[in-house]
Amino acid sequence: MRTLGPGSVSSLLKIVLDVIHVVLWLAVCGAIIAIVAILLLSVRPALLAGVAFDGMSLTSPWVAPVAAAVVLGGGVYVAGAIIIVERLRRIFQTLIGGDPFHPDNARRLRVIGVALASLEVWRYFAGALIHLAARGHVPARLMSGGGVSLTAWFAVLAIVVLAEVFREGARLRGEAELTI
C-alpha cells in the first residue's frame, strides 16, 4: 500500500485524526458541562448528602472547587491535544496531496513540539498543585504519580529535529524548482 497520495496510508491516518479531532472537541464540551454541573451542585450541597468516595464526604466545602479545577486542568490538557491533532491533520493533508515537504509542515511540527513540551510542563504544574492542595485530604494511594517523563521529552526533541528536516527538505525542493 502506498504511503502518500489519495487512497494511501496517509489517507487512512487522516481519517483517524479527523475522528480523534471530533472526540477531543466533544471532550472539551463535556468538560465545560461538568464544570458547570459541579459548580451548580456546590450551590446546593444537600444534593450530595450521604455520598462518599473512599471515606471522603462529597459535601465538604472544598470538594466542588477542587473538582472543577481538576476538570478544568483536564480540559486544558485536551485543548493541547486538539492543537497537536489539528496540526497533524494539516500535515497529513499535504501528504495526501503528495507534497510532504510543504513549507508549512516544518512550522506545524515546531508547533507540535512546543505543544508537547507545554503539556509536559502543565503536567508537572498540575501535579504539584494537586499534591499541595490535597495534602492530608486525599489518601496517598489516590495521588497521581509525577516525575520527569523521558519518553515525552524524547518525543519533543524528535519532533524538533523532524521539523528541521522538513524545513531543509522544503528549502532543497525550492532550490530544485529554481534549477533549469
Question: What's the confidence (pLDDT) of residue 80?
Answer: 94
pLDDT digits (tens, 9 = 90+) for 8-59: 898 999 999 999 999 999 999 999 998 888 878 777 666 655 555 555 555 5
How many H-runs (helices) and E-runs (strands) does the chain carry? 4, 2
Domain layout of the chain by residue ranges: 9-178
Question: What's the confidence (pLDDT) of residue 120?
Answer: 92
Q: pTM of the full predicted structure?
A: 0.78
Question: What's the confidence (pLDDT) of residue 141?
Answer: 47
Binned average pLDDT, 10 residues per bin, the chain of 180 residues: 84 94 95 85 65 55 72 89 96 90 92 95 83 62 65 93 92 82
Question: What's the confidence (pLDDT) of residue 99?
Answer: 86
